Chain A
Amino acid sequence: MNQPAPPADHLPPQHVQHILAMLALLAVPHLLRMPLWLGVLVLSLGAWRSLAAQRTWAMPRPWLRNLLTVLCFGAIYAHFRTFNGHHAGVALLLGMLAMKLTEMNQRRDYLVVIYLSYFLLVTHFLFSQEMLMLPLLLLGALAVTMVLIEVNHPQGGLPLRLLARLGGLLMLQSLPLMLVFFLLFPRIPGPLWGLPSDPGDAISGLDETMDPGGISNLSLSDEVAFRVRFDGPVPPAGQLYWRGPVLEDFDGRSWRVSRNADFPRAVTARYLSDTLSYEMQLEPHGKKWLLALDLPQAPLPANTELGPDLVLRHRYDIRSKMLFRLNAVTDHRVEEDILPYVIRRNLQTPPEINPRARALAAGWRAQAGDDEAVIRAALAHFRERPFTYTLQPPPLFNDNLIDEFLFDSQRGFCEHYASAFTFLMRVAGVPARVVTGYQGAGPNGDYYIVRQSDAHAWSEVWLDGRGWVRVDPTAAVAPDRIEFGLGRSLPQGEPVPGLARPGRDLLIRLRLGWDQVNEAWNRWFLAYGPELQRDFLRKLGLPSLRAMLLALTLSTIALLIGVGLWAGRQYRDRAESDAVLRLWRRYLARLRRAGLKPRASEGPRDLTERVALQRPAWATAARGVGELYVELRYAGTRPDPLRLREFRQRVRRFPRTP
């Protein structure tokens, strides 16, 4: 009954609604990524605060608030099992903001909420850095700034349009500063602390396991896997094998990356062709491998290393777009002494399955003189028998999948051929393994796009004296796949992702044009880091860190002086922006110096007469100035430029007459 009066709110209810609207704009895109209960909590607290503003309800008691906060943070920890990582971090931030709403009624609280909102805005870019996020950045920053201005004007009454103009003006004036900071603020390479590993959103791409049908599913996607820009001539499509995970363990159905990690060894290779240099814009795929062109050559990019399986890996999972400069030699010999256990692993097959394939391989082995002859026999088999390359192979359910594929269906996609070929090699006594990755590249403008539809699987066999040699059985069945890509090599009537199909209609042209815009965005904006900064500054003629810092400081100061001058002009006295008044003041100052102090009660006419009386020599000049002043000042129209010029001359020459 006897409730204490609620503490007065710093802001009128309407302002509170604006803050809540701004928060909704920033929070709702995140809520889709968050557990449902958190979304419900955030939205209901927002709705409660909105009602509380309208009905002037009191904020809850501290004990209730603290209990709610502890419960909320506990629930977040229980859900994510950590406070580290993108998702848990954003959940924590949303929880803090929602809790802050229950004690938001003083100026301080409003400011805290608004600064946290700026922070909430930046967390969106952890999840996506597409060009379409730029409008969110600008719009979000404007919305937060508008409510910040409103909090600093608690007496209210600023229409939204005015707020938008004030906020927009501030942002517009800080854009040049942003550009200067972005280009010249020293960038340091690499993460400062470990990047938290996050479950992340589902990202398509190659996996560490290959099942029958896995790659053909991936091939139905138009998504960009990476983009490539070659420095020199582009190698023929048949040499463009982008190396992904190497699969060595076979269970009769799936191929997997070997669970037994190899000791890191230095790779020595003999390079038989020229070095190719290129730039790769890799889309995030959530794994560590880089999909470098086979075989990467030093110098390797920062934070990467070439594994014993010749796969280039990054130190961290690739969760954002990255730009790499890479070198490769397509024709090479890896010179290494293979270890016995590696040979054993690459000869291992599950016992007793696929008896017909085993018999086939045994036949080749009996006839052939050496391993290379066995390989030739196998490729000839694929070439001469009626095998079909198709994205829609019949499903295989048998325990002897490879027998069924080789002798019954004879229809398959690259993973079927790679899998069958590798199995045949192993049972024939040739160490062999499956390599997955991408094959080929589609030109677009002056760069190349490699899409998920270019995903591919091939084999590698170990030949004494030659090392691991790539053999692509798909090339034996469908040579067009390697030369011209997927769209030309599939039978008519099969579903092919739109962009892999030959021909270029308008829609495809538009999509490719949009891709070029995105490519430029990735290349110039997203990838701008220490390396690009160094290049840029070298071109600018600022090679040293000191020169860069000096340029940063000087341009910042220059821009700020510009803004200061602008602001000074905006708020200057009306009299100062009025040429007539300014000249008149100058004239008065001249009289003052001559000892004729103008009196406050004196109009221009009286003053003129007094000057004429006290300084008869100046009478004509004073009358000239005085009459012209009265004419210009009180005529009520814009001053005639000719008369204004005359006035200026008279004032300048006073007390002489012009």
Chain B
Amino acid sequence: MSLIDGLNRRFEAWVVSRHRPEPSPQRVRRGRCYILPTRPGYLFALMLLAMLLGAMNYSNSLAFALCFLLAGMGLVTMHHTNANLLGLSVGVPPIAPVFAGEPVHVPIQFGNDSDRTRYSILTAPGRQALRHDRACDCAAGDLALSGFDLPPAGRGAHPLPRFAVATEFPLGLFQAWSWQTLACEYLVYPRPAGRRPLPAAPGRHGDRSGLQEGRDEFSHLRDYRPGDALRSIHWRRYPATGRLSVKTFAEPMDESLWLTWDSLADLKDPEQRLSQLCRWVLDSEAGRSPYGLRLPGKEISPGRGLSHRNACLEALARHDGPA
């Protein structure tokens, strides 16, 4: 079998050299669909050979008939397997980002525009990794969701590597497969790590204006606008001016956190810095204050919420500035 393995490897190398990334989704084209017998397929052929020798030895016509029927089926099934894959559309929905060290699940969406169900479609990053128990069917005119896991990768925005879409249906004697190189990427956030405490909000320490009492500190008056709280109306001034005035108070001092690359200058390893920033982003999201992120060449103004968190993490993942 090692000869077959060797041939397979060389064939795959040739196939891969033909591929350039294409936008998702793509159809499995005839020129990009390959087919080879599987190991059980070779075993089947061996069994047919034994059957043929037996039929010859005994001059047994019914044995010849069965042997030839099965040989015919072996050849016909090649077309069925091939057609089961041809024209299938393969797309990649957004891949959920992960933290470094976690496996990436790549969802794959199949679309079937033909009038026949496509059975037992497999997908995996490589042909060896195809798992028969993960097979999925794609009904006529319908979509189906499958997928595979990629091994944990380092931080960064990675292009989706080429992956195989394959099928061995109906008899498992042949494997038809197609390599898909789709122009998609997935994000791997830095692994959250580091024990540094969160940087304190600047408003809490020395660098403050005189407005220490926050919202109790009167600032100025302005005209009433519908919706202002009754409590804030300056009633005493009403008889004097005949207009409703509203007391406004000083905004409290900016309490947002700034998570900055520069604050971690003592950490020499940039990945370690990013890990610490990642930890801080997650901790800040769990806290109450808005937080902003400042990286060399990139700044995200303070905010809160999932999309803000993800934007921060994405910035960390994509960071490739000077260390």
Contacts and interface: CB of A to CB of B under 8 A. Distances in A.
Please indicate whether A and B come from the same complex rather than being unrelated chains.
Answer: yes
Interface of A: 10, 107-108, 111-112, 115, 118-119, 121-122, 125-126, 129, 133-134, 137, 141, 145, 148-149, 151-155, 157-158, 166-167, 170-171, 173-178, 181-182, 185, 187-188, 190-193, 195, 320, 525-529, 556, 560, 563-564, 566-568, 570-575, 577
B76 interface: yes
Given A155-B137, A178-B65, A568-B86, A574 B169 contact: no
A170 B77 contact: yes
Interface string B173-208: 000000000000000000000000000000000000
A123 B61 CA distance: 12
Contacts of A115: 40, 43-44, 47
Contacts of B170: 148-149, 152, 166-167, 170
Interface stretch (B48-56, B96-104, B150-158, B214-222): B48-56
B298 to A, nearest CB: 33
B304 to A, nearest CB: 35
A60 B297 CA distance: 65
Q: Can you list the 6 inter-chain pairs with the closest CB atoms, starting with the nearest?
A: A174-B72, A177-B72, A567-B83, A181-B68, A125-B62, A174-B73
B113 A567 contact: no
Nearest to B84: A571
Interface in B141-170: 141, 168-170
B118 interface: yes
B82 interface: yes
B79 A573 contact: no
Contact of A175 (B72, B82, B135, B169): B72
B66 A125 contact: yes
A122 B69 contact: no
Contact of A574 (B53, B76, B115): B115
Contacts of B47: 115, 118-119
Nearest to A112: B43
B116 interface: yes
A3 B118 CA distance: 40
Contact of A573 (B68, B76, B87, B133): B87
Contact of A152 (B51, B56, B113, B168): B168
Contacts of A529: 59
B87 A571 contact: yes
B275 interface: no
A450 to B, nearest CB: 23
B113 A173 contact: no
Interface string B58-92: 11111111111111110111111011101100000
A40 to B, nearest CB: 28
Given A181-B72, A529-B59, A571 B116 contact: yes
A178 B68 contact: yes
Contact of A563 (B50, B54, B76, B132): B76
A561 B170 CA distance: 19
Contacts of B168: 152
Contacts of B57: 191-193, 195
A525 B132 contact: no
B114 interface: yes
A154 B172 CA distance: 12
B137 A191 contact: no
Contact of A122 (B56, B66, B83, B114): B66
B261 interface: no
24 contacts: A108-B40, A111-B40, A115-B44, A129-B60, A153-B120, A153-B135, A154-B120, A155-B137, A157-B137, A158-B119, A170-B170, A174-B72, A177-B68, A177-B71, A178-B72, A182-B65, A188-B56, A320-B60, A527-B61, A567-B79, A570-B83, A570-B116, A571-B83, A573-B113
A157 B80 CA distance: 20
Nearest to A522: B61
Given A152-B120, A152-B168, A567-B82, A126 B75 contact: no
Nearest to A157: B137
A320 B63 CA distance: 13
Contacts, number: 179
A192 B72 contact: no
A361 B248 CA distance: 156
A10 B65 contact: no
A573 B53 CA distance: 43
Interface residues of B, number: 56
Interface centre among B64, B72, B113 (most CB of A within 10 A): B72
Contacts of A563: 75-76, 79
B46 to A, nearest CB: 9
Given A141-B66, A178-B68, 16 more contacts: A111-B172, A153-B135, A158-B119, A170-B73, A173-B72, A174-B70, A176-B72, A178-B71, A191-B57, A320-B60, A528-B61, A560-B76, A563-B75, A571-B116, A573-B113, A574-B114
Contacts of A152: 120, 132, 168-172
B66 to A, nearest CB: 5
A125 B76 contact: no
Contacts of B70: 118, 141, 174
B76 A154 contact: no
Interface of B: 40, 43-44, 47, 50-51, 53-73, 75-80, 82-84, 86-87, 113-116, 118-120, 132-133, 135-137, 141, 168-172
Contacts of A173: 72, 76
Interface centre among B44, B73, B77, B120 (most CB of A within 10 A): B73
B69 A10 contact: no
B321 to A, nearest CB: 36
A626 B65 CA distance: 57
Contacts of B67: 122
Nearest to B136: A155
Contact of A154 (B65, B75, B84, B135): B135
A524 B118 CA distance: 41
Nearest to A172: B76
A107 B66 contact: no
A126 B55 CA distance: 9
A126 B58 contact: yes
B113 A574 contact: yes
B169 A177 contact: no
A107 B131 CA distance: 11
A544 to B, nearest CB: 21
B84 to A, nearest CB: 7
A560 B79 contact: yes
B143 to A, nearest CB: 14
A192 B53 contact: yes
A182 B68 contact: yes
Given A173-B76, A568-B86, A572-B87, A153 B58 contact: no
A432 B79 CA distance: 71
Contacts of B50: 119
Contacts of B65: 137, 178, 182
A170 B78 CA distance: 11
A570 B76 CA distance: 14
A148 B68 CA distance: 18
B133 A154 contact: yes
Interface centre among B44, B53, B64 (most CB of A within 10 A): B64
A175 B119 contact: no
A181 B62 contact: no
A570 B114 contact: yes
Contacts of A111: 40, 43, 172
B69 A151 contact: no
Contacts of A171: 69, 73
Contacts of B137: 153, 155, 157
Contact of A177 (B58, B75, B113, B172): B75
Given A178-B68, A567-B83, A125 B63 contact: yes
A224 to B, nearest CB: 18
